[in-house]
């Protein structure tokens, strides 16, 4: 447990238990219960050199044609490849049950603004100076709210309440 002590008005110490707040917020919003997260870091220098990315066996077996086209259009293709590779690794980490025969089976697409996406996951990729990081959050179905069964065994009845009599006193 972590306690955070803040100095309040007139020098009073206010204590807040962070662990309890985080736990109550996550359970009330079902944040932690409904998602799996994966994260990965790759170095662009670890991506193999290639004369033609379209013909290189590593790139053909790990990236779709759309991904290769996206990366080769960039100033630093290896950095873009490393970002997508990190994203695919993050996706695998977020879903232990996912079985792939090749990384090509996962496709990272990009919208017109350059934001990555992958069906079933929320993903984000960032890279700078050859270091690439990606995060993937598996989108899970929200649990159905528990239904409270109606009780039909309770008989309804009307209860008359005795009203108090009014008394008037005259002097």
Together in a domain, 25 and 72: no
Together in a domain, 53 and 67: yes
Establish if 72 belongs to a structural domain.
Answer: yes
Together in a domain, 39 and 123: yes
CATH number (domain holding residue 71): 3.90.470.20
Together in a domain, 45 and 67: yes
Establish if 163 belongs to a structural domain.
Answer: no
Establish if 93 belongs to a structural domain.
Answer: yes
pLDDT recorded at residue 102: 80
Quick one: residue 20, left, alpha or beta (phi over 0 = left, psi -120 to 50 = alpha)? Answer: alpha
pTM strictly above 0.85: no
Together in a domain, 120 and 72: yes
User: What domain range includes position 19?
Assistant: 1-30
Establish if 166 belongs to a structural domain.
Answer: no
Longest dimension (CA), the chain: 115
Phi, psi dihedral angles at 148 (to 5 degrees): -90, 120
pLDDT, tens digit only, all 171 positions of the chain: 333 333 334 444 443 343 333 333 434 344 455 788 999 999 999 999 999 999 999 999 999 999 999 999 999 999 999 999 999 999 999 998 888 878 899 999 999 999 999 999 999 999 999 999 999 999 777 667 777 766 665 555 555 666 666 666 665
Establish if 51 belongs to a structural domain.
Answer: yes
Whether 131 and 86 have beta carbons less than 8 Å apart is answered as no
Establish if 160 belongs to a structural domain.
Answer: no
* CA atoms of 80 and 132, how far apart (whole Å): 8
Together in a domain, 24 and 78: no
């Amino acid at each position: 447990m972590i306690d955070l002590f803040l100095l309040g008005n007139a020098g009073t110490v206010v204590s807040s238990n962070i662990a309890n707040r985080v736990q109550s917020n996550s359970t009330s919003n079902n944040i932690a219960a409904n998602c799996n997260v994966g994260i990965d870091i790759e170095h662009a220098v670890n991506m193999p050199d290639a004369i033609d990315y379209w013909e290189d066996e590593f790139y053909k077996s790990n990236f779709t044609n759309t991904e290769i086209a996206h990366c080769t259009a960039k100033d630093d293709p290896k950095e873009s490849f490393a970002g997508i590779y990190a994203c695919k690794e993050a996706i695998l980490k977020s879903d232990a049950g996912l079985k792939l025969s090749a990384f090509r089976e996962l496709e990272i697409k990009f919208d017109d603004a350059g934001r990555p996406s992958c069906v079933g996951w929320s993903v984000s990729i960032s890279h700078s100076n050859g270091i690439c990081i990606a995060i993937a959050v598996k989108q899970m179905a929200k649990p159905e709210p528990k239904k409270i069964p109606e009780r039909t065994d309770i008989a309804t009845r009307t209860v008359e309440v005795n009203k108090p009599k009014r008394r008037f006193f005259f002097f």
